[in-house]
């Protein structure tokens, strides 16, 4: 019998995007991109506004889409590590993660970052322990919007697609979630323009982290016989 009113089993696993959902890294990304662009391309304004429209994708894919040289990645990654201490966790995310873990949900991160950089950042911020697995785009065959990274997270968490949701702030997150067969949830507390996300008709929309606790039905206790 289904565990909630939607006809789906109760959610057992939550897969999160990282930037714009768990952490507020927008300013750090902007500064890292500007520095890297100047080092490789020389004088002239860095096209960060265009770059930001592709957030959620793997950095090399963004460079390819923008027609920029892949050499920008090295100084971008260097600056991202250097500035990692200036990244902050969004208000309300800590209590959300703690609440989900108390309910027994299994948590993972599936990010456009590389795996080592994502795990390093979460460790610097002191929240790595909430997540059983942190998967980067360099650790799957096809990054978002392909389903590979979400499917990898589900396999590691031991959850079926109908027992999981993904929370993201980019259209690529929603596409990846749907391609993997999991619930696609849009997070609107970051810097992303909400219009493209809402146009995708996500399965749910969160305006603040605590909304996710209200959305997910706690698993029913076992029936005693």
Catalogue the active-site residues. Answer: 17
**Three-class SS state of 101:** helix
- Distance, CA of 20 to CA of 133 (rounded, Å): 19
- Distance, CA of 165 to CA of 204 (rounded, Å): 10
Going 96 to 102 to 107 to 109, the CA torsion angle's sign is positive
Do 66 and 51 meet the contact criterion of CB atoms below 8 Å apart? Answer: yes
Q: Which of 18, 24, 90 minimizes the C-alpha distance to 59?
A: 18
Bridge partners of residue 106, in order along the sequence? 13
The label of the residue with tokens 């997910």 reads 216
Cα angle at 102 between 183 and 85, to 5 degrees? 80
Strands 88-89, 23-24: pairing is: antiparallel
**Three-class SS state of 219:** coil
Residue 54 CB-half CA count within 13 A: 17
């Amino acid at each position: 019998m289904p565990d909630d009113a939607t006809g789906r089993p109760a959610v057992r696993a939550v897969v999160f995007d990282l930037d714009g959902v768990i952490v507020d890294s927008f300013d750090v990304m902007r500064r890292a991109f500007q520095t890297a662009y100047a080092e490789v391309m020389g004088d002239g304004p860095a096209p960060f506004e265009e770059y930001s429209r592709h957030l959620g994708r793997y950095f090399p894919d963004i460079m390819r889409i923008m027609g920029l040289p892949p050499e920008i990645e090295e100084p971008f990654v260097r600056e991202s590590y250097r500035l990692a201490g200036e990244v902050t966790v969004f208000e309300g995310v800590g209590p959300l993660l703690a609440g989900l873990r108390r309910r027994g949900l299994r948590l993972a991160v599936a990010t456009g970052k590389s795996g080592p950089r994502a795990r390093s950042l979460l460790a610097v911020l002191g929240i790595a322990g909430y997540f059983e697995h942190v998967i980067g785009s360099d650790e799957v065959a096809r990054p978002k919007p392909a389903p590979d990274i979400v499917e990898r997270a589900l396999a590691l968490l031991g959850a079926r697609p109908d027992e999981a949701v993904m929370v993201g702030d980019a259209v690529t997150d929603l596409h990846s979630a749907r391609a993997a067969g999991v619930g696609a949830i849009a997070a609107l507390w970051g810097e992303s323009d909400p219009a493209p996300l809402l146009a995708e008709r996500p399965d749910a929309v969160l305006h603040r982290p605590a909304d996710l606790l209200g959305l997910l039905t706690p698993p029913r206790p076992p029936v005693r016989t």
